[in-house]
Chains A and B, each alone.
Chain A
Amino acid sequence: MAEETKQAPPPARPPIWNDPVYRALFFQVLVLGGVILGGAYLVNNTLANLERQGIASGFGFLERTAGFSISMTLIEYSEEMSYGRAFFVSLVNTVLVSLVGIVLATILGFIVGIARLSSNWLLARMAAVYIEVLRNIPLLLQIFFWYFAVLRNLPSPRQSVEVFDSFFLNKRGLFSPAPVFEPGFWLIPTAFAVGVVAVIFLARWARKRRDATGQPFHTVYVSLGVLIALPFLAAIVTGFPMTWEYPVLKGFNFKGGSELIPEFVALVFALALYTATFIAEIVRAGIMAVSHGQTEASYALGLRPGPTLRLVVIPQALRVIIPPLTSQYLNLTKNSSLAAAIAYPDVVLVFAGTALMQTGQAVEIIAITMAVYLTISLLISAFMNWYNEKMALVER
């Protein structure tokens, strides 16, 4: 046998048009070329049509003065600044509402998902009712509900609800004292950063020791201690270089301090409560996917229910949970564009709204806006894929 193969002449190469490798390559090039040509045709045609209809095009508008105000600005902004700047302000608002929404939805979703599996009948029922009700009401309605229901019940600025004379809640938002930093303040965040680095090393060391000796270490408590103590020490050394600016009622409303607008609150509420129902179901499915034998084995080893859930079940469940969780995060981010319905100044409202209307450059602005959502979604996907890989089963 072995000799036969040795002597067999090398297979004759088929003619190039019959070679599967070349054939595949040929068709791929053909398709790619078609797509590029088609795209070029569309772009060219669009430009020609825009020009014929006399509609402005190009990206020069990004440098022109915007002229409008924005109700929530986390980075510096004034009417004199450019459309480009207004774009970034609204981008930050979109990112903020998505991030806060994702964090809250995740926490709530995990709690509700676990509660739904609880042996406590009432708790499990309540979780189920919450999921079934909120999951089945359109999100836009929920946003309107929170916005108008919340607005209607809050007092007007003059009758604000006050807490300690420093927090004020009214129809225009929640006003709270804002920190004012004085020179020397930089030492405190620096101390915190040092703390974070120390904690990372501590966690590594603790894990190594546990792997080697089996001794657990209270990483969480020690880390918390480090993270609080270091900045606190720095604060004492520098003599607390920070004061508070309090909001005061002036004219129509409170001025000074920091402000949380009701649009943000309503949107975050609606997004988090709605998405949490889906996350809860994903968590439940993930936990149920872990075979019961794992739990029993863990009990047999003497672990109590808490550590069993935390150390045995959840880490295994996460592998099932993370991929669908990613798509919920993407949904939440995209759904945040409903912001425009209740005047939350996100990218859609400010950029694809006001700026688009003022400049009339629909093609450019919609393209940028789509690119924004695409980029955010890809970043979230990339992060979750990385996390998923990290959590994946390591075969030993």
Chain B
Amino acid sequence: MKNSVSVIALAAAAVMFVAAPAGAGTLEEVQKKGFVQCGVSQGVPGFSNPDEKGNWTGIDVDVCRAVAAAVLGDAGKVKFTPLSAKERFTALQSGEIDVLSRNTTWTLVRDTALGLNFAGVNYYDGQGFMVRKDLGIKSAMELAGASVCVNIGTTTELNMADFFRGNSMDYKPVVFEKADEVVAAYDSGRCDVYTTDQSALAAQRIKLKDPKAHVVLPEVISKEPLGPVVRHGDDQWLDIVKWSLYAMLEAEEYGVSSKNVDKVKSGSKNPIHKRLLGVEGDLGKNLGLGKEWAYNIVKQVGNYGESFDRNVGPSTAVGLPRGVNAQWKDGGLQYAMPVR
């Protein structure tokens, strides 16, 4: 009855627009209830995934933990709401969650018509295609007439339509709400192609019966900047989420990690370190937070590079290269605005 449930949820959300309080005041609310309510996926390894004990891990999860560390001083004070792609924006709009951190692409429509604000990009991605190896296909341009399994409510669905339409190829979309059903349908042969963000392809591939029997085609058909999202109307909360992410990036850029943060804090002469860790000045005050907001993030969650390596890096099962997500100094796109 899950789909009736989601319809009801949407309807309920529609009703909640009526009752939902103005967007302002998320910080006070979070401080009052003592935890951050964070919307995540229903399970994408490396991004947001629960283990057997119900502990969530992933780079999207780490953004939520960073916000909790900054606001409440404890990265553990996060409650997670698993959401399908279809449910996620309603959950945020209606105030069910405080922040959405769930491989969500930043687009104009979402940023405007949906009443949302993107707080940054924690993973630069692009959409790809996966097919069975034994089909012998080498390029996405050979996919005319294919059946394609896809998640509803995603940019994936739209890019796919654009791609096939733009190349005058026909296709049959087979559209599911839950990612696990997309994977199951593709795995059982209902579709020729499985398409989603390349990172998610790498992550979901682990769930296939025989991961080695599939290949990811070389074409990347879209830009998918994935990042955390908040509601319109609460600039302070937007700032907090935005700068929590930047703090992780800035820490990596200037060589501060969870391992050396205490040493740097007590010993470093670098003004950038001092400002970031709250030794000099009080940047936290501008965000409505304590002096040690960024120190807590780095100490408890780690810097961006640590989070990346731990969750999706080459040594993990997902095995993604750092690629365009390297620091700008190393030729990548990750670039924190100056924390000063």
Task: Given A67-B161, A342-B176, A366-B11, verify A53-B93 contact (CB < 8 Å).
Answer: yes
Task: Given A342-B181, A348-B3, A363-B17, verify A69-B147 contact (CB < 8 Å).
Answer: no
Q: Judge whether A353 and B86 touch: CB under 8 Å.
A: yes
Residue of B nearest to A153 (CB): B188
Contacting residue for A49 out of B3, B17, B192, CB 8 A: B17
Residue of B nearest to A41 (CB): B18
Q: How large is the interface on B (under 10, 10 to 19, 20 to 34, 35 or more residues)?
A: 35 or more
CB of A67 to closest CB in B, whole Å: 5
Task: Given A67-B162, A69-B164, A342-B181, verify A363-B153 contact (CB < 8 Å).
Answer: no
Task: Given A55-B115, A338-B3, A360-B113, verify A69-B172 contact (CB < 8 Å).
Answer: yes
Q: How far is the CA of A348 from the CA of B233 in the complex (A)?
A: 30
Q: Judge whether A55 and B190 touch: CB under 8 Å.
A: no
Q: Judge whether B10 and A343 touch: CB under 8 Å.
A: no
Q: Judge whether A357 and B85 touch: CB under 8 Å.
A: yes
B184 within 8 A of A: yes
Contacting residue for A343 out of B162, B170, B175, CB 8 A: B175
CB of B269 to closest CB in A, whole Å: 46
Q: Judge whether A362 and B13 touch: CB under 8 Å.
A: yes
Q: Judge whether A49 and B20 touch: CB under 8 Å.
A: yes
B114 contact set on A, CB distance < 8 A: 55-56, 360
Contacting residue for B153 out of A54, A152, A354, A369, CB 8 A: A354
Query: 20 A-B pairs, CB-CB below 8 angstroms?
Result: A45-B18, A53-B17, A53-B93, A53-B115, A53-B231, A54-B233, A55-B93, A69-B171, A70-B173, A71-B174, A138-B1, A151-B185, A252-B143, A262-B190, A338-B3, A342-B176, A357-B157, A360-B110, A360-B115, A362-B90
A46 contact set on B, CB distance < 8 A: 14, 17-18
Q: How far is the CA of A345 from the CA of B185 in the complex (A)?
A: 15
What sequence of 0s and 1s flags, for each residue 176-191 of chain B, a beta carbon within 8 Å of any chain A beta carbon?
A: 1110010011001110
Task: Given A148-B184, A352-B7, verify A251-B144 contact (CB < 8 Å).
Answer: yes
A81 within 8 A of B: no
B152 within 8 A of A: yes
3 A-B pairs with least C-beta separation: A357-B153, A53-B115, A56-B113
Q: How large is the interface on A (under 10, 10 to 19, 20 to 34, 35 or more residues)?
A: 35 or more
Q: Judge whether B4 and A337 touch: CB under 8 Å.
A: yes
What sequence of 0s and 1s flags, for each residue 347-363 of chain A, a beta carbon within 8 Å of any chain B beta carbon?
A: 01100111011111011
B129 within 8 A of A: no
B259 within 8 A of A: no
A284 within 8 A of B: no
A341 within 8 A of B: yes
A100 within 8 A of B: no
Q: Judge whether A251 and B3 touch: CB under 8 Å.
A: no
Q: Judge whether A79 and B165 touch: CB under 8 Å.
A: yes
Residue of A nearest to B178 (CB): A341
B233 contact set on A, CB distance < 8 A: 52-54
**A46, A56, A353: residue with the most chain B Cβ atoms closer than 10 Å:** A353
Residue of A nearest to B12 (CB): A366
Q: How far is the CA of A348 from the CA of B114 in the complex (A)?
A: 20
Q: Judge whether B17 and A354 touch: CB under 8 Å.
A: no
